Each structure stands twice: as C-alpha cells, then as structure tokens.
Structure 1
Amino acid sequence: MAVMKFGGTSVGNARAMQQAIDLVAREKLNGAPLVVLSACSGITNKLVRLAEASGRSALDEALLLAGEVRRHHLVLTVELIKSSELQAELAAKIEEYVAGLEMLARGVDIVGELTERSKDTFCSFGELLSTTIFAAAMKEQGHDAEWLDVRRVMITDDNHGFARPLGDICRENAGTIIRPQLDAGTIVITQGYIGAALNGRTTTLGRGGSDYSAALLGAWLHANAIQIWTDVDGVMTCDPRLVPEARSIRIMTFSEAAELAYLGAKVLHPDTIAPAVEKNIPVWVLNTWHPDAKGTLITNDTERLSGMSYGGLVKSIAVKKGQCIINIRSNRMLGRYGFMAELFGAFSRYGVSIEMISSSEVSVSVTVDDKCFSEELLQDLRALGQVDIEHRVATVSVVGDNLRMSKGVAGRIFSSLRDVNLRMISQGASEINVGFVVEEKDVETAVNTLHHEFFSGEETVGIFEKPAGIP
C-alpha cells in the first residue's frame, strides 16, 4: 500500500486534478492507496490574508477574499465534474464551507483579535475544499473512493499553528478507521496539514505540513512507499530558477534529504523524513506532469544505494536567501567559560533560530532570518559585546553524504569560488554539509560556479538526469 501526497500545484486546477486522479487510478492496480491532498495552489495564502484582514477589522476585504475562494472552487467543480446534479451538490457543499468561513471572519471582526486557534480554523478550509471536490470527481469516474476528515485520525496537542501529533492515539485511529477501508479496496482521500486537538478544535501542523501528514500516516499504516507528487522531476541538484542546467537526483539518503530540507530546499518539508526513517519507508519525489520520469528515491537501503555509489561527492546545492549575519565580538570570550551559554540564551529568549555559526577566540558570527530578530534582542546582545549586522546575505550549502571525509572536496569548493566574496564559512558537526555565506547579489554566480564544478563531469553519470520539460 502506498501513500500518495499531492501538493497544491498538483490539484490547483481541473487539468491538474484530473491528472492526479489518473495517477491514483493507476496506483490502484497495486492496491488501494491513501491519498493526501494539499489545498489548491494559492488558496492557503488567500486564507491567511483573509484571517489577517478579519483580525484588523477589515471585514470587507475579508469577505472579498472569501468570495475569491468560493469562485475558485465553483469553477473547478464546473470544469471537472460532468453531472449537473453532482455539480449542484458540490456547489451546496462549497457554499456551506464558505459560509462557515464568512461567519468566522465576522466573529473575529467583532472580537477584534485573531488568535492562533482561529487562524488554524481559517487555514483548514483549503484542504477540506480540495479533498471534497477530488473525492467527488473520483467517484463520478467510477472509482471506489471515500472522503475522510483527517481530524478523526490526526489527533494533536493544542499548540495551534505548529501542532504535534499524539502518536499512540493517531496510530490506533489509523489502524481502526483507515486500514479497514484500504484493505477492502477503497481509495481513501484525506487532508494534509490539518488535525484536531483532544477537545476537537482544529489545529495545523505548520506550513508545508502536508508532507509531514503523509509520512506520519504512511508510518502508522506500515506503507511500502510514500510518494510526494509535485511539479518538478524529484529533488534537484540546485534550484533550476538559479541554475537552468540543474538535474534531477536519482537516489539519495535520508540524511542528505533531511539536511537539504533544513537548509532551504523547497521540495520536501523538513519534518517529512523522520517518520519514514523510523519505519525505513522509501520516499519517492515525483512529477505529476511527467509520471514516467524516474524522480528521486530517498532511502537508506544499502543495496539500492551501493548500486549508485558516487564516492562521497556532492549531491545538491541548497540556498537560503533573506538571511543576515550577526557578528558579536567580546574579550569576555577569551579563555572563559559560560559566554556561549549567555549568547545562545539571548537568542532562545526571543525565539530566534540560528541557521549557521562560525567562531574564533573573541568573536562569534551567526546567520538568522533577516525578519525574525528585534531591537530588544540586539540590545541584549550588545550587553555581551560589540555587535555588527550584515543584511541581504544568503547561505549556500553544499550537501553530500560523508562529504567531510572525501579528500579534496573542500578545496574544490573554495578554489572554484575564488572570484566570489565569502562573508562567512561554516563546517562543523555535520558530515554532509559545507556551508558559507555570500551577499545575495553573488548567489547566482556562486551556485552556477559550484554546479559546473561538481555536476559537469563523468563522475555524475548514473546518479543524476536532466529533467523533462514541463508543458
């Protein structure tokens, strides 16, 4: 049994949704799959804007956005569904959802405050709408398929906005609610991203949480594969918007994929890998528009990996823009203990995550998201020493399993970047990542130079392939 997760672009319009339906029908030949859907592309952003408009009492704007959500799904229904009777039935369901959305907006407007709990409820409507239409279309086309409200299964804590599942309860629910339907040959269609707390209130797993939902459900149901369907031919050697010659990676380890996700690669949500690693379930990243392309297999299966050994060289280059460097210099560091605890304690107090770090005897440099730190944090840091900030920088990370143990790789990285001004270098605990920081204006030059250095030779044959063109 496979879990098939389709992202927003794979269900964004009638043509995309029909393609996804055809893929699910094809997979059914191997046993009924569990289908996990995101909201249609752009809808979650619209719902966030709607929620924020309600919170600042811009009710007219909020209701206008609700109307756009209604129109999108009504058009999708008309284009996808053939039966006028079923169209009318779905239109009534869409109206019921949107009426609930509008009622919530009015309630928040009256109270004058948008809570995380209310925001979770706003955001849940996208997945509920996309799965309702998808399930109806599958049934109309003669498939044995059932819609399932995932909030019956995905029970979480009450940390709204970033809820974590209660594993034992969820595992039992998956076995008693989903498994019997799959075993009976019924395709189950449900939502990613959302869940419910023990009190029944809707929660969300965080942006991009549909991948996480799919992996968790796959682990609880002992799936033999988790398929992540998107609009690219798998995990790429680099962002093709930066490097047109970027290739699809045929196979990679869980540790490589996790590192790439945390370092800024957009294909996978960072949390996706953990449940798959726990159960050793292979994860496939595939292209909805080119389903016969090989895509990327993520696995720790030594037999599969040994068939495509790459000698510990680079697999991919990840970029994270919108960063800044905070440099802290202090003589208090020299030969004394406790300074780093104070430093990291300051970041912890303000909930700021450090991306990259480099240190010397009397200075520490860290990178953080350029939008996440406050003047209050900077004041606390200035109590420790002299503080300088460099804005508009990006982290570039070169990733490959056992990279640190491969002789000459670091030399190749930095010699190829001799014409690029490196603002910071970091290679520490991770054996599979060498990172550095450049100004944002130098990102394109840096990654294209690195890509040519590591992906233009014979050493990459059999591991990477050029992606098919998207129609």
Structure 2
Amino acid sequence: MSLAVLKFGGTSVGDGAAIRQTAQIIRDAVTRWDHVVVVTSAMGKSADPRDTFKVTDLLLNAARSAAAGDSESYPRARRLLADKHHAAIEATIGNADERQRIGEEIDQLLSGFEMLCASVRVLGEVTPRALDAIAGLGERMAARILAGAIRSVGVMAEPLDATEFIITTDRYQSATPLMGPTRERTIARLMPLLQAGVTPVVTGFIGATLSGVPTTLGRGGSDYSASIVAAALNADEVYNYTDVDGVLTADPRIVPDARTIEVLTAQEMSELAYFGASVLHPMTIAPLVERNIPLRVKNTFNPTHPGTLIVHRSDLAPSDSVIKAVTAIKDVSMMTVSGGGLKGVPGIAGRTFMAVARTNTSVLMISQASAEQNICFVIPKAAAPSVVAELSAEFRQEMEHGEINPIETFDEASIITAVGMGISETPGVSGRVFSALGAQKINVFAIAQGSSECAISMIVAADRCDEAVRAVHALTKR
C-alpha cells in the first residue's frame, strides 16, 4: 500500500484562495496514492498586500509584549487572528453548520491564547514552556480550517494535534523527537484513520513531552514534523509544498538567473539548509535517511512543475557541474582566539567552545591554523558581545600572562558556501572557487571544508557577500 506525506508551508495556507488551491492538490494526491497524510504550518502571509503578518510571529510578539506589561497588544492580536482565520473559513468551507463549528473551535483556541497572555502579563515573564504553548496555536487553527476545506472538495479528512503522538524532549523552543515512542503512537493514532479512508491533517511544528507538555521543534519545524511522521509510518515519499519551484542554485534576490536543481542528495540538501537555504528546516532530512525516503520540494502555486527531488544516493543525483548551489549567511561575526599559549596546550579548544556554549550560542563554522596558535569560529552577530565577555573571563589568567591575546572580532562578515557532491571527486575545485573570488578582488578571511567534502565555506566581508555569491554561482553553469 502506497503512502505519501504532504507538507504545506505558511504561504500555502496563507488565505482562503491558497487553502482552496492546497485542498485541490490534496484531492489529486488522494487519487494517486493509497494513503495520504497532510502536515500543515500556521497561516503565513498571503499574496494580498494588506496582509501584513504571519500568525506565529504575531502570537509570539503578543506574548512577549504581555510579559513586558503591555495589556493592549494581545487583545489586538486576537482580533487580527480572528479576522484572518474566520475570513479563511468563509472562503473555503461550503457547509454553513461546519463553518460555524470550526469558527467556534477557532474562537475557543483564541480565548485560550488571550488567557495565557493575561497570565504572562501578571507574572511579568514568559518562559520557554509558555512560549511553546502559545506558538503552536497557529498550526492548531490552520489544521482545523484545512481539514474543513479538504472535506469541502469531497475528501474525508480529520485534524489531529501532533501533541498526541510526536513525543519529544523537554527542550522547549527546540525539542528533539524521541523516535521510539513517536513511532508507536503515530502508527496507533494515524493508521486506523488511513485504513478507514480518512486523510489526517496533522499540526506541524509542535509535539509534547512524555508527560504531555506541549513543545515546539524550532522555527520552520513543520518540515521536520513531516519527516518525523513519514519515518514513523515508513512512507514512500514526502512532498514539501512551498512558494518556489524547488531548491534553487542560489537566492534569486542575489542571483536573478538562479535555476531549479532537478535532483540533490540528502547530504547536499543538509549542507544547503544548514548554511542558509531557507527552503527546508535543517533537520528535515535526518529522519528520512535511515528509511531511505525521498523528498520532493514543490510549488503550491505552480503544482505542475516537477520541483526538486532529494534522494539518498549520489548515483541518483547526477550533475553537469561540480558545484550545484551557493548559499549565504549574513549578519555573522568571526571570533579569533590566538596567542603563543595555544601551541600544543591540551584543552584550549575545549575551553573555548565550552565558554561559547555557556552563552547558548551556536557555532556556525570553525577554522584552526596549522600552527596551533589560532582558532577562529563564526557565530551570529547578535551573540558577539556575550561571547567575547565569556571568553575573556575564561582566559583571564592566560591573557594577564600574555599567553593568549585579547579576543579579536570581525563583525562585518558573511559566510558563503559552495555545495556539491562533485567537490569530493574533482581535483582543483577549491582553486576554481578562490580564482573566481580573486577575479572580483574579494578577500577570503577564513575557510572550512568538512570531512564529507560536500561543501566549502568561506568568510568574506559583509559588503562583498552578494558579489561573492554571484562569482561562485557562475561555476554552477560549467
């Protein structure tokens, strides 16, 4: 029996017109597959220029404003959310009784949101646990409306809260799934519905701890949710619907002639997602690898386009060019720990990154000089002051003795990354990349190449980032 998991992003459910289009795609999929599971994001911005907010952003901003003592933001947010969701109900659901029922469910969820924010305002703080409870409301509302829209096109559908079966750690804001209990509960909850001919519409982004406390998988986590469900059910394929024609060779805002990539390996896609390609959550691929489940990225608003297929074997992803794509991460800082005291002294690197970890900062890239007197790494720019302070405290004694220099920072930096399996198989790729940058007189401050040799990352000045991307992108055409 064939089974497909279809995930729809925020723009795919951004308003009534988008939801109707999504419902049609699902109806067509039901005719091609024995079983279909749908995973939905919260409503995002629609094509209407008057639509100025994404649901999850509005929910979180209202909660944080309430914590700061603002008593007006969350009632205003509730009104905006009610207007957006009720308009979608009116535009997509034909049956009057069902419109009323779903509308009442939306109002109940929004009442819960307002009560949570009122409590946050009284307490004067909003904890990560409370933020997760509030952030997941967007998906819970969207799932109910989308299920109603699917029923309106003649397909049996039922909304499901993923808190029932996606079981996670209690790391609020960025929980990790526990695949053992998740697999058991997902099969037990979804398979009876599928066997009865019902299409489950699952809330993306959210899960719950073993004790039932709501969690989230990190922003953009609906992609991750779809992969978790697919792996639990051993699906045949995952379709990730967004608002672009698949994965592109570069950001089209930087490279106007960026092209859709026909096939990528999971390893290439993971590198692209980690280094700035926003089309997929970075963890999306991981649950699919073990089960060898392919994923296809498609455009909700151009559904006949084949999109990009992501596979798990390099021989299934041939390419005419060594480099398939180029990404960029902006607003980063490069930190350098240097000094004669680093040479040959055990534990310096460990102390460096333990100090960074104490600030809850993610390290995006690491490079170390062969002389062992220089460790440089890249972090988000906003975290730079706290990281410098923590490193200075960690190495205070060594700095006083002159063994380690004051921490150097380069705040106007960007990371550009060239990705392609051909990098590991073709001599001289690094030389071609550096020649392309050199021809544009773009200086490279640091480089890193992982053991997979699927990607080469470089630090360049922030004001040359776009030029650097275009220069390296030219190599994807050869």
For normalisation by structure 1, the TM-score amounts to 0.92
Deviation at 1:166, TM superposition (A): 2.3
Q: 2:246·2:297 contact (CA, 8 Å) conserved in 1?
A: yes
Q: 1:387 to 1:19 in 2, by over 3 A?
A: same
Partner of 1:394: 414
Q: Does 1:14 align with 2:26?
A: no
Deviation at 1:197, TM superposition (A): 1.7
Q: Does 1:322 align with 2:342?
A: no
SS of residue in 2 equivalent to 1:249: coil
SS of residue in 2 equivalent to 1:36: strand
Pick from 409, 412, 423 the counterpart of residue 445 of structure 2. 423
Partner of 1:294: 306
- Partners of 1:299 and 1:19 lie apart in 2 by 27
- Partners of 2:57 and 2:416 lie apart in 1 by 27
How is 1:255-404 mapped onto 2 (pairs within 5 angstroms)?
255-301=267-313, 304-305=316-317, 308-310=318-320, 313-360=322-369, 361=371, 362-373=373-384, 374=386, 375-380=388-393, 383=396, 384-404=404-424
Amino acid at match of 2:206: I
SS of residue in 2 equivalent to 1:34: strand
Amino acid at match of 1:387: I
Which string of whole-angstrom CA distances, capped at 9 and with x for unpartnered residues, describes residues 220-262 of structure 1? Answer: 1010001111111111111111101101110011111111111
Which string of whole-angstrom CA distances, capped at 9 and with x for unpartnered residues, describes residues 429-455 of structure 1? Answer: 331111111122111111111112332
Partner of 1:247: 259
Amino acid at match of 2:139: E
How is 1:227-238 mapped onto 2 (pairs within 5 angstroms)?
227-238=239-250
Q: Does 1:27 align with 2:29?
A: yes
- Partners of 2:418 and 2:394 lie apart in 1 by 30
- Partners of 1:368 and 1:354 lie apart in 2 by 5
- Partners of 1:318 and 1:197 lie apart in 2 by 35
- Partners of 2:287 and 2:463 lie apart in 1 by 38
How is 1:14-413 mapped onto 2 (pairs within 5 angstroms)?
14-29=16-31, 30-41=33-44, 42-301=54-313, 304-305=316-317, 308-310=318-320, 313-360=322-369, 361=371, 362-373=373-384, 374=386, 375-380=388-393, 383=396, 384-413=404-433
Give 5+ residue unaligned stretches, structure 2.
Answer: 45-53, 397-403
Give 5+ residue unaligned stretches, structure 1.
Answer: 458-471
Q: 1:50·1:66 contact (CA, 8 Å) conserved in 2?
A: no
Deviation at 1:340, TM superposition (A): 1.8
Which string of whole-angstrom CA distances, capped at 9 and with x for unpartnered residues, describes residues 175-200 of structure 1? Answer: 11101211232111110111122222
- Partners of 2:230 and 2:448 lie apart in 1 by 35
Partner of 2:48: none
Amino acid at match of 2:444: L
Q: 2:293·2:311 contact (CA, 8 Å) conserved in 1?
A: yes
Q: 1:233·1:295 contact (CA, 8 Å) conserved in 2?
A: yes
**How many aligned residue pairs are there?**
453
Amino acid at match of 1:180: P
- More displaced 10-residue stretch of structure 1: 337-346 or 314-323: 337-346
Which string of whole-angstrom CA distances, capped at 9 and with x for unpartnered residues, describes residues 261-320 of structure 1? Answer: 111110111111111001000011111111111111111246633xx3447x11111111
- Partners of 2:330 and 2:198 lie apart in 1 by 44
SS of residue in 2 equivalent to 1:328: strand
Q: Does 1:2 align with 2:14?
A: no
Q: 1:257·1:298 contact (CA, 8 Å) conserved in 2?
A: yes
Runs of 4 or more consecutive aligned structure 1 residues displaced over 4 Å after TM superposition: none
Q: 2:336·2:375 contact (CA, 8 Å) conserved in 1?
A: yes
Which string of whole-angstrom CA distances, capped at 9 and with x for unpartnered residues, describes residues 373-407 of structure 1? Answer: 40532423653432211112110000111514411
Q: 1:158 to 1:345 in 2, by over 3 A?
A: closer
Q: 1:381·1:387 contact (CA, 8 Å) conserved in 2?
A: no
% same residue: 34
Deviation at 1:346, TM superposition (A): 1.6
Q: 1:353 to 1:302 in 2, by over 3 A?
A: closer
Q: 1:19·1:289 contact (CA, 8 Å) conserved in 2?
A: yes
Which string of whole-angstrom CA distances, capped at 9 and with x for unpartnered residues, describes residues 152-205 of structure 1? Answer: 111222222122222221111111110121123211111011112222221111
SS of residue in 2 equivalent to 1:3: strand
- Partners of 1:137 and 1:345 lie apart in 2 by 50
Q: 1:227 to 1:322 in 2, by over 3 A?
A: same
Q: Does 1:452 align with 2:474?
A: yes
